[in-house]
Every structure is written in structure tokens, then in C-alpha cells.
A and B are shown apart, each in its own frame.
Chain A
Amino acid sequence: MTALVLAALGVLLVLPAVLPSYALTVFTFTFFYAYLGQAWNLLGGYAGQLSVGHAAFVGIGAYTSAMLAREAGLTPWLGMFVGGALAAVLGAVIGYLGFRFGLRGFYFVLLTVAFAEVCRIAALNTEAIGGALGLYITFTGNPRQFQFQDPRAYYYIALGLVLAATAVTALVERRRFGIYLTAIREDEGAAEAAGVPTFRYKMLAMVASSFLAGLGGTFYAFYLFSLQPNTVFGIPLSVEIVIRPIVGGAGTLLGPIVGSFILSPLAELSRYAFAAGGWSGAHLIVYGVLLVVVVLFFPQGAVPWLRRLLGRAQP
């Protein structure tokens, strides 16, 4: 497995030299969504707290750094941490309310969805940040402004993000933090009985996860140069974030990445297939079907399944 991963990494590092620009975009998005999926994975996969509102954190991160750059001239390289911090604050609020009031399963999902939607509607109605028209960033091509003439720069940044998030997750996985999170996911009451401060660890997972997602918001803003409340705070983005680790294998280190490599090309294909109708929801049908198939037939996701496959191939 390790050799395979290293080989894949090597290929990804040299790939931009030969990729056409369209494929470069697809890869960049693949990495970026894998990164967001990895951020989600910490909370949803390891700690088992299902959030379908992670778009809120991305949105806050994106708007924060974009507004700071526009109004205060702060470089997004710093703004992204402010955005991450604000996203973490929201995460802490949601987490505190949800965990203190004992919302589990479906009720926690509803809470995250409701908060994301409140953010979306608030953004739509706040003229100072562009309201329904959205926020546009003027392209300067200045790297200090997180802007690059060469799209390959975004490719490497997105790759760097996903690698960093995966490294963080790998570190967490081996430490007490990660072990406690999986115990909470499996049985919260039993974890408490075994001495796990479940509230504190769920809060930590929530804050870390929302901080990482918030960092990602800056990339989103300065890669796309436009922010619409309906897209950056919308449920479809939350679904994009959730579905990758679920398909790849929630609570596994490589799950979000494998999931993203399965889903992004699939989404592109279906968009392409239905592009004639000028219609944008096709990939969501594909996601829906895939979600159902995964739940029914691969509840652990692709990674454990692949691992078994590879394990069987070895003598």
C-alpha cells in the first residue's frame, strides 16, 4: 500500500507538465474536494458526528479572506487563517449547542444543515458582502494576493492542502486524540465509561474540522474569483464534501482522497453528458445514486474494500 501511495504521489507531482488545461482544472478540484473531505473526515469519519453543513465553514473562510483582501488589503495568505479561525468559532458554537444539548444522529445533521442555511440566507441578504449578486475578486495575477497566472500553481497548492490535511489526520489517527474519536464514534456512552471526556474531544474534532474547512474557503475564493452565497454556502457544496469520504471510506486516512478520485471524474462526466440541456444538477443525481449504492453494498467505503483486494493479491 505504501509503495503504491508513493508512486501515485510521484506521478501527481510531475503530471502538470503534460496535462491539458481542462484536465488540470479537474485535478485541482479533485484535490481541493479531497482536502475538504479530509477536513470533514476528522469530525464525520473518525468522531462519527455527521455534518451536512460544512459548506458554512468554507463560505465563512472564503468571504472572510476575500473581504479582508478587498477592504483592508490584507494578503489572503494571512486572511486564510483569519477565515479558518472564524469558521472554527462557528464550528465551536454549533458543536457546543449540538453536544451540550445532546443532539445525535439525525438531529445533529439537521442542526448543521440549519446553521449552513442560516449563513447562506444571511449572506444573501447582506449587501455589504455583495448580497445575492455575490462577491467578485479582480484578477491581478499577483502571488502575494493568492493569484497566479499559471493554473499549475493552483494545482500544486490544492495538492499541498490535501497532503497537509492528510498528514495532520495521520498524526491524529495515531495519537490518543484519534483513538478517542473512534471510540466516541463507536459508542459514546461506553467511551465515557472508559474515561474518555467525550464532550471535550467532540468539540476538539469540530473545531479542527471547521478550521481546516475554513482555510479551504480562501482557496475557493481565489481560485474561482467569485463567491455566490447559494454556491459557497449551499447544500450542494456540503454534499460534495460529505460524499467523498463516505464513498472512499469514512474514518480511513485515504478515504477522502480515493473518494474524490472516484467522484470528481464521475461528476465531470455527468456534467458533460448533460451539458447540452444547460442543466446543472446531473452530477447530484449521480451522487444520490452512488450514495445509495455505497450505503447498501459498501457501507465501509472503497478503501477497506480495496485493502482487502490488495491483501488478497499478495501471497
Chain B
Amino acid sequence: MRSGPDGPSPNFAGRRSRTALGDRAPFHQRLISALYTIAGIGLFFAVWWLAASQLPRSRLVTPLDALGDLWANFLDAPRLGVFGLGKTGYGSLLLYTLSNVFIGLLTGGAVGVIVGIASTRLKFLRAMVDPILLVLGTVPILVAAPLFLLWFGVVPFTQVLLVAFYSAIMMVLFSQRAAENINPVYERWAMTFGAGLGLRVRHILIPGTVPEILGGLRITLASAWGLEVFAEILGAPSGIGQAIKALTNLNNVPGLLACVVLVAVTAIATDILLVRLARRIAAWA
């Protein structure tokens, strides 16, 4: 993050350094990076295509077949109606999943950050929180999800709560680590300016932990997608997980792959948005 003690940092002349959050690199570097990404995606589809050409259609279809299914069923997928999903398409089911992921991530993440940061400054809270985290963090989703379904029923709230629950646990850990990693000299310096605890939390602890917390939020977001889809497969009134469950029962390989591609693309898009937001919020890092 910092340059040496007496030498100018390499980005002093207006160039911006790269950080864990992906600070902007020069154009030619970004171009090369984009070409590698395109090559990676191309390689993935080539392997998929090759595998599909060797396997029967009942096992694997080509990327074009999957994309064709996605196009045909995005707004209206009549075959899903028989599974109690009503008149729906992949698009509206994805919207349900997306909103649950974000509501769960934001509520759970907010609780996690507050508890995580507070527990690094309040010893009694740390002593209370750590054993609870240790126990709850080890509960597998395969155990937690059926319990949540039994307690709260097959309603959207159940999936949101499940995502919020695991997001909170992860964000407590990320926030604790972020707050512990802040150099104590910053708080000591703020104290010599007369800053009390409230001002130190506002001006030192919160901005100082932002980059690491946002890094943790990216990992939590990726986990939240998996948790939400899994929770929907186990039981939900809607969502892309329910479509995956229905399409599995129908042995519909193109539909299944279409849903997987849809979730993957949306998850990557939300991650890119989060990275851009992080760059803006933590421009100093």
C-alpha cells in the first residue's frame, strides 16, 4: 500500500497502482488482460464443445443448444408450470434469486460488519461472539437449510435468512481481521488530536477497514449465490434453484445448463459491479 520510507512511490507521476481490489492499470495492460480473459472463456467453451461432441445428448449438449434453450425460455418456460412455478421464465426466476441474494447479503453483511468491528474493541463482546461463531460456522448448510424450512416454512424469508445467516458469520470474521490489521499508530495519533472513541470509529476504524471488508464481501457474495440456489433447490416458492430442480426431474440437460450459465453470468456481473464500487469507495488504497 505504501512506498518506501524516503523514495517516491512509483505511482506519484499520476499512474495508479494495482491493489487487491483491482485498481486501474494502464490501457495496454488492461487490453492484454482482457485478451487473456477472452482466451480463457474461449478455451472453456471449446472444451465444453469437444466434450459435448463425444457424449450423447442425454448427458451433455453443446453451448449453442444451452444458449438456444436460454433464449427460448427466458421470458416464458411453460414446462416449469407443472412444477407449481406458475407462468414464469428463467428471467423472472433469476430475479427472485438475485433479490434474495442481495437482501440476505446486505442484512447479514451489515450485522456481521457491526458485530465484527465492535467485538475487536469490546472484549466482553469478543468473548461472547467467538464461541458462538465457532459453533454456528461449523453447521453445514445441509443441516441448517432443512431446519430453517421447518421453522419458517417454504417462503422467501427462509432463503433470505439462510443467506443472511452465513453472510453474517463470514463478515464477522472478515471484519474482525480487518479491524485487527489496522496499524495502532493511527488511533494513537487520532487520540493526540483529542479524538474520542466515537470519532476514532468514524474516522479511523471504519475507513481503515473498508478495503479488507469489501474484499471479504466479494468472497461472501460468491458464497451467497451458492447458498441461495441450494436453499431454493431444497424448498422455495420460486427461484432459479427451483427451475434447476424441475429440469433435473425432466432430465432436461439443455435447460439445466442454461440455468447454470445464467447464474454464473449474473454472479460474475454482480462481482464486477462490486469491484467497481469498491474501487470508488476505497480509491485511496
Say whether A associates with B: no
Q: Give me the interface of A with B, judged by CB distance under 8 Å.
A: none
